Structure 1
Amino acid sequence: MKDGPPARFTRPKHVELELVAVAYRDRSFPVHIHDDYVLGVIEGGAERLEVNGTSHLIDTGDLITIEPGLAHSNHTLGSEVLRYRVFYLPPELVASFSGCSNLRFAAPWRNDPVAGERLLELHRWFEAGTGDRLEQESAVAEIIEIAFDAGDRPDHEPQLPEAVDRARRYIDEHYPENFGLDELAAAAEISKFHLARSFSRSHGLSPLAYRTQRRIHAARRLILKGTPLADIAIGLGFADQSHLTRQFQSIVGISPARYREQ
């Protein structure tokens, strides 16, 4: 953001959330609240966060986790430009994915470099404006899991094998279509959040990755039949032929054209 505005907002096409990437120097915000959950990562620099009379030093790589309605203030520290990326997650969105309307953060910030790097990757990906419904909704499910640190809590969730089977059958029958987690969770009869976690534990793949595998398996058969690549891409739900080629090469190891030649 060296040459751009100090704050750049993004609103994805398929999910109701807002993102912002900022670059501030010598900037303070007075005590304020947000209507949404705030999940941010410091990319560079540092800031001081004041919450309920307690001061927190938030440094590069740290996560900011502010609940809706929590009064706080913050200001930059030092001479380095403060750069951070934030997801604003509406409570309704979090509840629709998690099935819980009162999720709470353990603290207003935490140090978790691995989670921070992944959140930065997801933020940049959303900012690029890519992804269909299932891709964007799957990314939101991952963001919510990271936000509430589900991976670090004891997992008492049932395995839900019947629900996972229903979800898998739905993907098997509809993989060329541009469906989202809403349809998949409705077919499985569980929440979107539990679906994503249960499916991954059961199959070692996320629902999105499983759908991509099914599409690529079908593409291989059609390629060998001589079907034009553009027609394969459209018929199997890829954005375009280049999208098919990237996905195919990442899984098969060679391009569709090279695969056809062998």
Structure 2
Amino acid sequence: MNTTTTESTPLFWRDARLPHVELRKVMDGRKVCYAPHSHTQWSIGAITAGKSTFQYRDTLHQIRAGDLVLMNPEWVHTCNPVSDQPWAYLMLYVDTGWLTDLRFQAGLLPQRQWRDIPVATVSDPVWHERYCHMADCLLDPQRDLLDKQTEVVEFLSDLMHELARQPVVAEPKAPQALETLARYLDDHSAEEVSLDTLCELSGYSAGHLIRAFRQYTGLTPHAYLVNRRIQLGRRELQNGIPIAEAALNAGFADQPHFQRAFKRLMAATPNQYRRSSPDQQVKTTGGKQ
């Protein structure tokens, strides 16, 4: 894949033959600002230069070059620059189901069911170096598919064993009504949803519903819905769907609304994200198997 880009433009690496991982590279993150958001994937980033802030749920971390940051699926977070100071990072998004299976087969989970990882940051030069080595392999169009698969599996397997030594932190159980609302928004993310409907489903008053839902997810119901729509639109773009069509399929009224929300939550435009399509990746690697 051609990795030529300006320093302020994010690079997204994807390969249809490795559908469970996606890599983002930012060389100058001074203008890269995120609104609070979450991912359906498990994510791990490496700060490669400078420093930034990492808001992870209710905790603010100061991170710098050499640190790794870890994000559980659905955990709200932001990672933003400090006073316009330069910083750079890599971010790997890993399919939650695939990683769950990897942990289960390694004997780190009692069953094939995701368990949150209670670690937010890792400050260890060995793990940082291994992460960057893996990322360099993925970004190199001359490396074979088997080589890339091996790097990803070895790094993540070893890291999961390391993190399994940390004590398990029990997450408070959310009320069933809030879990039901979250699943409802997941299933109807591309549709118009009213607060009246959510109140009827939960039995909560409007004010109580918004407060309780924010406490449970870290987002208001509307922010949660927009976040889900962006994830849906992101998958559409990965599959090569035109931006205007992806916007409508994801539940946005039009392309401008989609573009504004995408930039706010992804710190990249849909077009920047779409440039790294699976088809481009296979063509530029010569389709090596």
Q: Counterpart of 1:123 in structure 2: which amino acid?
A: A
TM-score (norm 1): 0.53
The equivalent residue for 2:225 is none
**CA contact 2:52–2:81 (8 Å) conserved in 1:** yes
The equivalent residue for 2:113 is 101
| Alignment partner of 2:24 out of 16, 20, 29 | 20
Higher RCO, 1 or 2 (CA under 8 Å, sep at least 6)?
2
The equivalent residue for 2:90 is 85
Instruction: State the Cα distance separating 1:12 from its structure 2 match.
Output: 2.8
Instruction: State the Cα distance separating 1:49 from its structure 2 match.
Output: 1.2
The equivalent residue for 2:12 is 9
The equivalent residue for 2:68 is 63
Secondary structure at the counterpart of residue 80 of structure 1: coil
Q: CA RMSD in A?
A: 2.4
**CA contact 1:14–1:137 (8 Å) conserved in 2:** no
Secondary structure at the counterpart of residue 31 of structure 1: coil
In structure 2, relative to structure 1, the CA distance for the partners of 1:125 and 1:133 (3 Å cut) is closer
Q: Name which one, 1 or 2, has greater alpha-carbon Rg.
A: 1
The equivalent residue for 2:133 is 121
Instruction: State the Cα distance separating 1:29 from its structure 2 match.
Output: 1.1
In structure 2, relative to structure 1, the CA distance for the partners of 1:4 and 1:45 (3 Å cut) is closer
Deviations 1:13-62 (A, max 9, x none): 53111101013114421110011111110001111111222111111110
* Separation in structure 2 between the aligned mates of residue 106 and residue 93 of structure 1, nearest angstrom: 19
Secondary structure at the counterpart of residue 36 of structure 2: strand
The equivalent residue for 1:209 is none
Instruction: State the Cα distance separating 1:88 from its structure 2 match.
Output: 0.5
TM-score (norm 2): 0.48
| Alignment partner of 1:41 out of 27, 30, 46 | 46
Instruction: State the Cα distance separating 1:71 from its structure 2 match.
Output: 0.6
* Matching of residue 111 in structure 1 with residue 114 in structure 2: no
* Separation in structure 2 between the aligned mates of residue 58 and residue 130 of structure 1, nearest angstrom: 32
Segments of 5+ residues of structure 2 without an aligned counterpart are: 105-111, 166-284
Q: Counterpart of 2:131 in structure 1: which amino acid?
A: L
**CA contact 2:102–2:157 (8 Å) conserved in 1:** no
Q: Counterpart of 2:14 in structure 1: which amino acid?
A: R
Secondary structure at the counterpart of residue 153 of structure 2: helix
